């Protein structure tokens, strides 16, 4: 673990322009040893004639992180780069589950008090794990706006630092380390069998290889924004596509209109992907999307459940619905993706109640598996 120097953390990202490749690389150093450098796992049939059995599609299972989701990256980096005075006062966050777990674990590791505002319908497994890490929980209604307002109020009244789940440059920078890893790992995959065993430079595209595509889930937009910055900075020719449930496609609508569009909590509640029920994307993610994100693909509820089944059967991975949306995009929306080049599906998490998981698998099987 590398701790930033200086009491005021002068390098802490605060604005969209602060989310840079250099900042993401610095975050990777701070996160070293705290988060898992999740692997790229081959998925599907090997490419015809490939002597190493390489496939076109690769899975990046952030479900294998210590808290079962990518959120530890942004939460830890955010809290670690607060000033000593602000950390001593404690932090507050609002989340339906995975960010809550990330903040709770990061606060525990850093010795910081944490208060988490969670919806009353949050998955039980996520609530239990937040408590296990010693965080205090305040329950509110299902609306993401209500959670955000309560957390902001507690920050004002109690002097806590707000660790926003997505509309925060420091959080986004931490999540961007996923993209940094993908570019480095793909370079190693393409370098197999070549002289020296590498591509010759980080982010350099081997001769004859088509640009790769990264599929990243979109909820509030934090991971998609960070990954897009990291990937596009290293490989401008790469394609980064966000994936949303069709029943929670506010980011798609926002990019189409050129302004942030808000969906109602009732509309968002229809999707099984509880981690993507945010009623609107953040201001900072929206600004970064417009610069770096190539497109949005939406997936259906049955497709998400079917992707969970395929992940379980073919990759031996337990995914929550939000974690399966990118795989659903690959499996069922290939005509909306580039025709050539490697494809990486970021699987954002695997925190799902066992009974609910069994129910969703059964739904996926009934829909065609």
d(CA 309, CA 273): 15
Q: Please write the tens of the pLDDT for every residue from 222-271.
A: 999 999 999 999 999 999 999 999 999 999 999 999 999 999 989 999 99
If you average pLDDT over residues 270-289, what whole number do you get?
Answer: 95
The residue from 144, 233, 280, 348 that is catalytic is 348
User: What pLDDT band is residue 26 in, cutting at 50, 70 and 90?
Assistant: very high
Instruction: Output the pLDDT for position 8.
Output: 45
Flag whether pLDDT at 200 surpasses 70. no
Write the DSSP string, 126-188: HHHHHHHTT-EEEEE-S-HHHHHHHHHHHHHHH-PEE--SSS-HHHHHHHTHHHHHHHHHHHH
Instruction: Output the pLDDT for position 144.
Output: 76
The residue from 60, 63, 71, 322 that is catalytic is 71
Q: What angle do CA 23, 6, 115 make, to 5 degrees?
A: 75
- CB-based contact 15:169 (threshold 8 Å): yes
Flag whether pLDDT at 79 surpasses 50. yes
Q: What is the mean pLDDT of the chain?
A: 92
User: What pLDDT band is residue 63 in, cutting at 50, 70 and 90?
Assistant: very high
- From the list 150, 176, 175, 148, the residue with the least C-alpha distance to 164 is 148
pTM above 0.75, yes or no: yes
Instruction: Output the pLDDT for position 9.
Output: 59
- CB-based contact 346:62 (threshold 8 Å): yes
If you average pLDDT over residues 10-24, what whole number do you get?
Answer: 90
- CB-based contact 137:130 (threshold 8 Å): yes
Instruction: Output the pLDDT for position 84.
Output: 94
Q: What Rg, from alpha-carbon coordinates, does the chain have? A: 19
Percentage of residues of the chain with pLDDT beyond 90: 81
Q: Please write the tens of the pLDDT for every residue from 264-276.
A: 989 999 999 999 9
- The tokens describing 94, both together, are 């609002």
Backbone angles phi, psi at 295, to 5 degrees: -170, 170
User: What pLDDT band is residue 176 in, cutting at 50, 70 and 90?
Assistant: very high
Please state, as a whole number, how many other Cβ atoms lie within 10 Å of the Cβ of residue 188: 12
Q: What structural domains and CATH numbers belong to the chain? A: 16-68+177-366 (3.40.50.1100), 71-170 (3.40.50.1100)
If you average pLDDT over residues 39-54, what whole number do you get?
Answer: 93
d(CA 335, CA 333): 5
- From the list 254, 8, 249, 287, the residue with the least C-alpha distance to 169 is 287
Q: Please write the tens of the pLDDT for every residue from 312-352.
A: 999 999 999 999 999 999 999 999 999 999 999 999 999 99
Active site residue 83: no
If you average pLDDT over residues 152-158, what whole number do you get?
Answer: 95
User: What pLDDT band is residue 198 in, cutting at 50, 70 and 90?
Assistant: very low
Please state, as a whole number, how many other Cβ atoms lie within 10 Å of the Cβ of residue 213: 23
d(CA 66, CA 9): 26
Instruction: Output the pLDDT for position 126.
Output: 84
- The tokens describing 66, both together, are 């210590």
d(CA 344, CA 339): 14
Side-chain half-sphere CA neighbours of 111 within 13 A: 3
Q: Please write the tens of the pLDDT for every residue from 305-321.
A: 999 999 999 999 999 99
Flag whether pLDDT at 195 surpasses 90. no
d(CA 12, CA 32): 17
Active site residue 348: yes
Q: Please write the tens of the pLDDT for every residue from 103-152.
A: 999 999 999 999 999 988 888 888 899 999 999 999 998 877 888 899 99
The structure tokens 């290939």 sit at 334
- From the list 143, 305, 306, 278, the residue with the least C-alpha distance to 217 is 278
- CB-based contact 187:204 (threshold 8 Å): yes
User: What pLDDT band is residue 205 in, cutting at 50, 70 and 90?
Assistant: low
d(CA 56, CA 46): 7
Q: Exposure pattern of 232-266 as b/e (b: 16+ CB <10 Å)?
A: bbbbeebbbbbbbbebbbbbbbbbeeeebbbbebe
């Amino acid at each position: 673990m590398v701790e930033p120097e200086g009491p005021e953390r002068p390098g802490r990202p605060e604005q969209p322009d602060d989310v840079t490749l250099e900042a993401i690389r610095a975050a990777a150093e701070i996160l070293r040893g705290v988060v898992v450098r999740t692997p790229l796992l081959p998925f599907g049939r090997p490419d015809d004639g490939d002597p190493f059995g390489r496939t076109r599609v690769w899975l990046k299972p952030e479900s294998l992180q210590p808290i079962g989701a990518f959120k530890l990256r942004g939460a830890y980096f955010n809290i670690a780069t607060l000033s000593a005075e602000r950390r001593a006062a404690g932090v507050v966050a609002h989340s339906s589950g995975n960010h809550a777990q990330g903040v709770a674990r990061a606060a525990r590791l850093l010795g910081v008090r944490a208060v988490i505002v969670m919806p009353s319908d949050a998955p039980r497994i996520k609530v239990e794990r937040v408590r296990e890490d010693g965080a205090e929980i305040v329950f509110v209604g299902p609306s993401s706006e209500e959670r955000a307002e309560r957390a902001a109020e507690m920050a004002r009244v109690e002097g806590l630092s707000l660790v926003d789940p997505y509309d925060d440059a420091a959080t986004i920078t931490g999540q961007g380390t996923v993209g940094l890893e993908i570019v480095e790992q793909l370079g190693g995959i393409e370098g197999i069998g070549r002289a020296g065993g590498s591509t010759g430079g980080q982010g350099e595209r081997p001769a004859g290889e088509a640009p790769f595509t990264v599929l990243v889930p979109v909820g509030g937009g934090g991971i998609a924004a960070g990954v897009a910055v990291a990937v596009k900075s290293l490989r401008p020719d790469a394609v980064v596509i966000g994936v949303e449930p069709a029943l929670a496609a506010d980011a798609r609508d926002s990019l189409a209109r050129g302004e942030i569009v808000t969906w109602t909590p009732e509309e968002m509640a229809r999707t099984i992907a509880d981690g993507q029920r945010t009623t609107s994307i953040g201001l900072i993610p929206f600004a970064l999307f417009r610069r770096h994100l190539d497109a949005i693909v939406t997936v259906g509820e049955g497709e998400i459940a079917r992707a969970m089944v395929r992940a379980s059967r073919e990759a031996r991975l337990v995914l929550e619905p939000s974690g399966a949306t990118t795989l659903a995009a690959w499996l069922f929306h290939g005509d909306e993706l580039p025709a050539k080049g490697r494809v990486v599906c970021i699987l954002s998490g695997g925190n799902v109640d066992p009974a609910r998981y069994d129910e969703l698998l059964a739904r996926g099987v009934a829909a065609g598996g």
